[in-house]
């Protein structure tokens, strides 16, 4: 069982490369980038996995701060489980201290849902992580809503946020980063009551 001194692995899910940077599917990367800025770190290539990492601490100085490893897998979404599991093992992180930040089709745009465990709901990044290490990790689900009309899901998630969505995006990414910090500092129930919408 994990304890307060164990590190946390915060995984922003997305696809590497500039072509994907502003896609809905890459909102996990956006949140990870903001968290890296907050802890004053820059992403560097991981030695032990196909990923970029930043190490640091979140929360107030002292016993309330938490050691974190921020991760952006560079393996493409559907292979995220390999790099995440390698880093979990290398840093000796309990699975319940792993947090996946990802886009969620079944949650309206801009809404957040935090939970521990559960299914993958067709999300290839979660599917890969669950296959590699089981389902018992935290998820911060960033709502992107369903595709309009007959648009295919794959096309929708690999499109950039619309101009209307982009007006709120920076605020929503900021709120998601706050939710991750709250989860680490105060636990799942407190974070759910503050951020689940």
Using the structure block, give the residue that is written with the tokens 């309009």.
148
Per the annotation, the verdict on 25 as an active-site residue is: yes
Report the C-alpha gap between 22 and 183 in whole angstroms.
Answer: 26
Neighbours of 127 (CB within 10 A): 17
Report the C-alpha gap between 50 and 47 in whole angstroms.
Answer: 8
Q: 180-194: string of b/e by CB count within 10 Å (b at 16+)?
A: bbbbbeeeeeebbee
Neighbours of 171 (CB within 10 A): 10
Do 117 and 136 contact (CB within 8 A), yes or no?
yes
Query: Among residues 25, 97, 123, 138, which one is catalytic?
Result: 25
What are the φ/ψ torsions at residue 54 (nearest 5 degrees)?
-135, 135
Do 33 and 41 contact (CB within 8 A), yes or no?
no
The residues annotated as belonging to the active site are 25
């Amino acid at each position: 069982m994990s304890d307060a001194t164990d590190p946390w692995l915060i995984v922003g899910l997305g696809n590497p490369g500039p072509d994907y940077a502003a896609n809905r599917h890459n909102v996990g990367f956006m949140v990870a980038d903001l968290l890296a800025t907050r802890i004053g770190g820059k992403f560097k290539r991981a030695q032990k996995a196909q990923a970029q990492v930043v190490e640091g601490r979140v929360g107030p100085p002292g016993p309330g701060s938490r050691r974190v490893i921020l991760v952006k897998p560079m393996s493409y979404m559907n292979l995220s489980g390999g790099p995440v599991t390698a880093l979990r093992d290398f840093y000796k992180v309990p699975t319940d201290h792993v947090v996946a930040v990802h886009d969620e089709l079944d949650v309206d745009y801009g809404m957040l849902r935090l939970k521990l465990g559960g299914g993958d709901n067709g999300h290839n990044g979660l599917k890969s992580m669950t296959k590699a290490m089981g389902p018992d990790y935290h998820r911060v689900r960033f709502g992107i809503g369903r595709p309009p009309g007959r648009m295919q899901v794959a096309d929708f998630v690999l499109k950039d946020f619309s101009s209307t969505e982009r007006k709120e995006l920076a605020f929503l990414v900021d709120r998601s980063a706050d939710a991750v910090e709250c989860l680490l500092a105060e636990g799942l129930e407190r974070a759910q009551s503050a951020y689940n919408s």
